């Protein structure tokens, strides 16, 4: 009875854990016979959970996995007063440091995994992420605590290394923040017991202006109560249509107190879709993916209600391990007299194309051109960027 055996072992571990939190045996009021039985059970569990070595060589003992990722770009803008908002975006003509990211991760113990991203950027050094995550809670739950990117949409929880364009879509930098939506907090994720992948995530986090600009948390309006924290909800489903085609769909929301006053609220709703075609048998590892995200935001702002929306659609063709090409189009609305973006009064279109060359799996050169057409500016803004990324250290895994 394999399952029963494993179940017994898990029960034994729970029992051992519960007993560890109790006063020492003998101090409590158990009967001697019970004590003997419990001690025997603990001893049996200790021997049953001793497992033989199960990993191969190649890893330094007890060293976390460490990698260092550099992103920098040479850029040209037709207008010095460009509209780049992202914390990792090239923002000026000339050379731009996008980030130098130190990534560390390791298991803490059999129950927790820890990961950290420490980022050197134009404004100094910052702990971008640093969080512990459970590995095996019952009920298909997973809990994360620390500082992390909120589970909102498809691109927000990722880092520039996983992006297919040099800069972030303006939908995200305008509504979530220059560095996306992240903060100190906790997240609960539940994997539904279904034949396909359906995951529900709920996070509560502490906003600040760079990582939650649509919410309270500025120096003038700091978080005062638990009611000021930002709540993020996300439901994701994945459908493997066949071996080659797959579809990933998500719905997200963020709710919290607005930046102006405690009685104001901000709500953001979004949906994202990722369709990928990668023929498993293609020796060139060719793939084509289409990704889109749309966001809608409602803000109460001192007696006024403001609604706006923004989104993007991108297509990326991975021709072979060396070459990739992509295009992205973005569209967003504006609000007159928006206190966060006072100049952004109307629609903004931006079209971007990129060509990427990978000398190896650990480096890339990306040439990108864009045409930005904000309706409130008389002239479009042209931009051209050549970005370099290098990765040293551990080979990180790629999320889907």
Partner 1 sequence: MKKLMWILMFLAFPAHAAPLHVVATLPSLAAIAQDIGGPLVQVEALTSPRQDPHYADAKPNLIVTLNRADVLILNGLELEVGWLPPLILQSRNGKIQKGALGYLDAAQFVHLLGVPKGAIDRAMGDVHPGGNPHFLSDPRAGARIAVGVGGLLARVDPSHATQYQQNAANLAQQLDALAKAETARFAQLPANRRNLVVYHDSLTYLVDWLGLRQTATLEPRPGIAPNPQHVAEVLQAMKTAAIPVIAQEEFYPQNTAKTLTQLAHAKLVVLPGGARFPAESYLAHIKSLADGLYDGLKP
| Residue ranges in contact with partner 1 by CB under 8 A | 1-3, 5-6, 9-10, 49, 51-59, 107, 110, 113, 133-137, 140-142, 191, 194-197, 199, 236, 238, 240, 243, 246, 248, 276, 278, 280-281, 283-285, 320-322, 360-362, 392, 395-400
Whether the CB-CB separation of 325 and 356 falls below 8 Å is answered with yes
Nearer Cβ to partner 1 (357/376): 357
Nearer Cβ to partner 1 (35/137): 137
Whether the CB-CB separation of 247 and 274 falls below 8 Å is answered with yes
Nearer Cβ to partner 1 (281/337): 281
Nearer Cβ to partner 1 (42/353): 42
In 3D space, the residue among 270, 276, 279, 280 whose CA is nearest the CA of residue 290 turns out to be: 276
CB of 274 to partner 1, least distance (A): 10
CB of 2 to partner 1, least distance (A): 4
CB atoms within 10 A of CB 254: 29
Nearer Cβ to partner 1 (1/33): 1
Token pair in block for residue 104:
């560390």
CB of 331 to partner 1, least distance (A): 28
CB of 231 to partner 1, least distance (A): 22
Nearer Cβ to partner 1 (17/94): 17
Element at 4 (helix H, strand E): helix 2-21
CB of 26 to partner 1, least distance (A): 31
CB of 72 to partner 1, least distance (A): 19
Place of tokens 């906003």: 207
Nearer Cβ to partner 1 (33/51): 51
Instruction: Give burial (CB, 10 Å; 0-12/13-18/19+) of 243.
Output: exposed
As beta bridge partners, residue 388 has 72, 365
Nearer Cβ to partner 1 (4/220): 4
Residues with Cβ within 8 Å of 372's Cβ and at least 6 positions away in sequence, in order, are 82, 83, 348, 349, 350, 380, 381, 382, 383
Whether the CB-CB separation of 375 and 343 falls below 8 Å is answered with no
CB of 214 to partner 1, least distance (A): 28
CB of 278 to partner 1, least distance (A): 6
Whether the CB-CB separation of 265 and 257 falls below 8 Å is answered with yes
As beta bridge partners, residue 323 has 357
Residue 154 sits at φ, ψ, to 5 deg, of -95, -40
Residues with Cβ within 8 Å of 133's Cβ and at least 6 positions away in sequence, in order, are 112, 113, 114, 115, 142, 143, 144
């Amino acid at each position: 009875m394999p399952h029963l055996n494993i179940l017994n072992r898990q029960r034994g571990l729970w029992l051992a854990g519960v007993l560890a939190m109790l006063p020492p045996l003998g101090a409590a009021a158990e009967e001697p016979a019970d004590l003997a039985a419990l001690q025997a059970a603990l001893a049996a569990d200790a021997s049953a959970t001793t497992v033989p070595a199960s990993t191969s060589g190649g890893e330094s003992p007890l060293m976390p996995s460490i990698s260092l990722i550099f992103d920098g770009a040479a850029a040209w803008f037709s207008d010095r007063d460009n509209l780049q908002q992202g914390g990792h975006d090239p923002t000026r003509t000339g050379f731009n440091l996008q980030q130098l990211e130190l990534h560390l991760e390791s298991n803490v113990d059999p129950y927790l995994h820890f990961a950290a991203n420490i980022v050197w950027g134009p404004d100094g050094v910052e702990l971008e992420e640093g969080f512990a995550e459970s590995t095996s809670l019952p009920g298909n739950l997973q809990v994360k605590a620390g500082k992390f990117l909120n589970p909102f949409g498809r691109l927000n929880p990722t880092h520039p290394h996983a992006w297919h364009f040099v800069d972030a879509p303006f939908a995200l930098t305008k509504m979530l923040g220059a560095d996306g939506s992240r903060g100190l907090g906790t997240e609960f994720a539940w994997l539904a017991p279904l034949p396909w992948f359906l995951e529900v995530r709920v996070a509560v986090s502490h906003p600040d202006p760079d990582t939650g600009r649509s919410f309270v948390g500025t120096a003038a309006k700091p978080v005062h109560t638990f009611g000021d924290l930002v709540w993020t909800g996300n439901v994701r489903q994945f459908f493997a249509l066949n071996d080659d085609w797959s579809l990933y769909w998500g719905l997200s929301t963020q709710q919290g107190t607005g930046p102006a006053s405690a009685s104001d609220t901000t709500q953001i709703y979004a949906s994202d879709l990722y369709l990928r075609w990668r023929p498993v048998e293609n020796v060139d590892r060719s793939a084509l993916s289409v990704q889109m995200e749309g966001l809608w935001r409602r803000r109460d702002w001192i007696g006024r209600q403001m609604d706006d929306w923004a989104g993007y659609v991108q297509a990326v063709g991975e021709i072979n391990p060396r070459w990739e090409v992509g295009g992205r189009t973005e569209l967003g609305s504006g609000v007159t007299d928006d206190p966060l973006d006072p100049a952004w009064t109307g629609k903004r279109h931006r079209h971007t194309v990129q060509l990427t060359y990978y000398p190896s799996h650990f480096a890339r050169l990306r040439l990108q051109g864009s045409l930005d057409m904000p309706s409130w500016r008389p002239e479009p803004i042209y931009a051209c960027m050549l970005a370099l990324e290098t990765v040293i250290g551990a080979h990180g895994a790629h999320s889907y």
